[in-house]
Amino acid sequence: MFKDLRSKPAPVIVCTAGDFYGTADIFNESKSHFVAQMMAELGYDAVGVGEMDLNFGLAGLVRDARQDRLPVVCANLETTVDSLRVRPGGRSDRANRDADRLGTAFPPYVIVERGGVRFGFLGLLSPATKAGRVMGETNEVKSLTYVISDPATAAQSLVPELRKACDVLVLLAHMDQDEAAALVGEVDGIDFVVLGHDPQGRPLGEPVVVGETALVRATYQGMHIGELSIDLEGKHVKEYHNRLYPLVASFRDDPDMVKKLDAFDERNREEQKELYARQQLRSADSASGASRYLGVGTCQSCHAEAFDVYMHTAHARAYNTLASQFVHRDTNCIGCHVTGYGDEGGFSGVRARGAMVDLVDVQCEACHGPGSEHTRDGSYRERAIHSCVKCHTESDDPDFDFDTDWPLVAH
């Protein structure tokens, strides 16, 4: 798609509002760094920081920014650790000076020139995104090496001068829409805001206009790419048109990128096998013997009819759908294809020889909760009603409708 857009006469600038890393677990680390590498290859001009991008510590992001020369910008991600300060040479002395003044890890902004027009990209991350959950291989919370300061204060300090240094100013705002709208209400001079961080994954078909500023958002999990076609008068925005491209399966893939992805997948599969084996060993060491999850076999002994229904549902084959696509070790996927993933005594791997409980697939306890909490007052049955939407989310299963879909598993 980028190639197609770049083949047209108008100059193209590519930016992201952040969250390109995966969830905070060991299986996602290599994948996240690979994505950063591919973003550099795709030629991103400005990269904002999301709370997910700090999942492997600030050091992980700093390493990628340096190795891949990713133009990461964030005006309120501060650090006192000198080795974690990225000051790209030759790009913008001004941005590096401002970074030193503010004590930030990355330059607060980058100025990109296209067709004689200077586009400024300022990055901000909201502390409300709960950044700071950093997991190591043993899931300990590592000590943080950074502080996220108030985004509005950072914007107020930078925007007036930055506005003079560029013709069009874009804020890469990793924050809720309301917070960004309040911020641009306080700080004049921002032309566009590219929003990140929407847990509901809602793209904005039409920009939201606050004063002189237009807020846009693509999302979710890379499912949409946004394009602002901008017409200028002199060097300033005259008018713009927003368009979202849904990257559906029929969208043509770039053959070179597919080759790179396939090569990575192959390497990654080997690495994940090893990580998985290590994790299983740790689980075996720490097993208490009193699992809260009992497995579908235990449920079956009293609920034979319900078990029979279950065996004919897609829930009973949920793990296979992952395995058939070789994504059964992908922690972004596993949680909704097994039982009790991430929970004490829940799924931690395919049953090892001699283990008593096998928690692959979406078993009874995935919806009702651990069997150890089974009661006979009807509440164990009732609680399952509210559990569908944990996995059948608006973004992952937009067609889900309880009234239509419940009969498929009714028991």
Partner 1 sequence: MDGHLPSPGRLTLVAALLAAVFGSAQTPPPAAAPEPDVRLVYESDTRAYYRPCG
Phi-psi region of 193 (alpha: psi -120 to 50; beta: other; left: phi over 0): beta
Q: Return d(Cα 91, Cα 96) in angstroms, integer.
A: 9
For residue 226, give Cα distances in angstroms to 207, 218, 246, 247.
11, 5, 9, 11
Residue in 85, 329, 337, 368 binding partner 1, rule: CB under 8 A: 337
31 binds partner 1 (CB under 8 A): yes
329 is an interface residue for partner 1 by CB under 8 A: no
- What's the closest the beta carbon of residue 87 comes to partner 1, in angstroms? 25
- The residue from 67, 156, 324, 379 that contacts partner 1 (CB under 8 A) is 324
Residue 225 interacts with partner 1 (CB under 8 A): yes or no: yes
24 makes contact with partner 1 (CB under 8 A): no
Nearest CA to 17 out of 154, 131, 177, 174 is that of: 174
Residue 17 to residue 20: CA distance in whole angstroms: 9
Q: Which of 332, 350, 355, 380 binds partner 1 (CB under 8 A)?
A: 332
The rounded distance, in Å, linking the Cα atoms of 108 and 76 is: 7
Size of the site for partner 1 (CB under 8 A): 69
Look up residue 328 and give its two tokens: 């059964």
Q: Which of 355, 363, 375, 360 is nearest to 299 (CA)?
A: 363
Give the range of 30-38, 69-77, 300-308, 360-368 binding partner 1 by CB under 8 A: 30-38
Nearest CA-CA partner of 265 in 326, 220, 311, 216? 326
Closest residue by Cα to residue 194 from 56, 65, 16: 16
According to CB under 8 A, which one of 60, 108, 207, 226 is a site residue for partner 1? 226
325 binds partner 1 (CB under 8 A): yes
Q: Please give the helix or strand (H or E) that residue 34 lies within, else none.
A: helix 26-42
Q: What are phi and psi of 372, to 5 degrees?
A: -65, -15
**Interface with partner 1, residue 2, by CB under 8 A:** yes
216 forms beta bridges with 194
Q: How far apart are CA 361 and CA 295, in angstroms?
A: 10
Tell me the closest approach of the beta carbon of residue 223 to partner 1, in angstroms: 9
Rg (CA), the chain: 24
Are the CB atoms for 180 and 48 separated by under 8 Å? no
Nearest CB to partner 1, comparing residues 200 and 286: 200
Nearest to 275 by CA among 56, 25, 27, 24: 27
| ∠ CA 13-240-72, rounded to 5° | 30
32-40, 82-90, 286-294, 375-383 -> range binding partner 1 (CB under 8 A)? 32-40
Nearer to partner 1, 15 or 294 (CB): 15
Half-sphere exposure of 202 (CA within 13 A, CB side): 6
The residue from 25, 28, 111, 120 that contacts partner 1 (CB under 8 A) is 28
**Least Å distance between CB 242 and partner 1?**
10
**Part of the chain binding partner 1 (CB under 8 A), chosen from 58-66, 180-188, 221-229, 355-363:** 221-229
How far apart CA 322 and CA 329 sit, in angstroms, is 8
What gap in Å lies between CA 301 and CA 294, rounded to an integer?
A: 12
Contact between 120 and partner 1 (CB under 8 A)? no
Closest approach of partner 1 to the CB of residue 374, in Å? 29
According to the binding rule CB under 8 A, does residue 381 interact with partner 1? no
Query: With respect to partner 1, which residue has the nearer C-beta, 200 or 404?
Result: 200
Instruction: Answer yes or no whether residue 117 interacts with partner 1 by CB under 8 A.
Output: yes
Single residue of 232, 275, 309, 384 touching partner 1 by CB under 8 A: 232
Shortest gap between Cβ of 119 and partner 1 (angstroms)? 8
Min dist. Cβ of residue 62 to partner 1 (A):
18
Q: 281 is written with which tokens? A: 């060993």
Window 265 to 304, contacts with partner 1 (CB under 8 A): none
Query: How far apart are alpha carbons 154 and 376 in whole angstroms?
Result: 56
Q: Mark 342-371 with x for binding to partner 1 (rule: CB under 8 A) and - for no binding.
A: ------------------------------
Binding region for partner 1 (CB under 8 A): 2, 5, 8-22, 28, 31-32, 34-35, 39, 50, 52, 114-115, 117, 119, 170, 192, 194-198, 201, 203, 216-222, 224-232, 240-241, 249, 261, 321-322, 324-325, 327, 330, 332-333, 336-337, 396
